[in-house]
Every structure is written in structure tokens, then in C-alpha cells.
Amino acid sequence: MTESGRKRRVIAAYLAIGLLLVGTFWGLDDHFPFGPFRMYSTKDEVDGPVRSLLFEGAYEDGAPFTIGSSSLGLRRAEADGQVERVREDPEFLRHFVEAYEAFHPDEPPLHHFRLFHRVYELRDREPVGTEDVTVAEWSRE
């Protein structure tokens, strides 16, 4: 190992450590791995509201039932990303209905579809109540 090689490795190590320290205090997710990946470096409050996005469907003569996002060909995050779009244009829900019906061709067509948040209220880390908040609804004419 030459002296100049050793100096280069020491400088590279100090530079990496310096970037890690700067990123820890002033970095953003986009700076990863030299910035904190906030999903893993922060925590949510243990008290307060927690929202869960849910889908509900109903056949013409049936009671409402919960529909999983996988039954629509979506991941939960993809559905979460469409909430504002659905809120602005509730007719957009027909795309979710079409997806559900494509995945369930042997089922009757949906007559009603609702996108809503189930809000769990936590106090001392325990659920103390729930409330359903409708984002949008769609009905077949």
C-alpha cells in the first residue's frame, strides 16, 4: 500500500462520514443514502387520528361489502394517490368499478361503490372510537 493510496482512502472515508453527518441533520429523502430516509427515521404520534382507505361495493339487491384494493388491481398506495382526483371528480370511481368487474366476471355488476376513510381515534395507544368519512360515491344509473 502506497502512501498516496492511503491518503486517498482516508480522505474518501472522511468525506463519506462528513456527508453522512451533514445529511443526518439537513438532508432530505432525496439525498439518501447521505440523508435520512424519513419513513424509517421518524415515528408517528401514538395518539390522535389514524386513517385507513377503504372501498365498499354493493350489488343491486345486496348489502354493502368491503372490497380489497387487490380486487381492483391496485396497491394501497396507488389508491391513496387517487383520493384527491376522486374527490374532485366522483365519476372517476367508475374506473374502479370497471376494474372490479374485470377481476370478477362471474359476479353481478356493482350497483353502488364508495371510497371512504375509516378514521380510528387513538388515546394512550388504544382505539377509543371510529368514524367513516366518505370521499366519494358512485351509483349505476
Reported as a single tens digit per residue, the pLDDT across 55-102 is: 999 999 889 999 998 888 888 888 888 899 999 999 999 999 999 999
Give the alpha-carbon dihedral of 62, 68, 71, 73, to 10 degrees: 140
Domain definitions of the chain by residue range = 3-41, 48-139
Cβ(50)–Cβ(119) below 8 Å: yes
Per-position DSSP letters for 4-32, written without gaps between them: HHHHHHHHHHHHHHHHHHHHHHH--GGGT
* Predicted TM-score (pTM) of this structure: 0.67
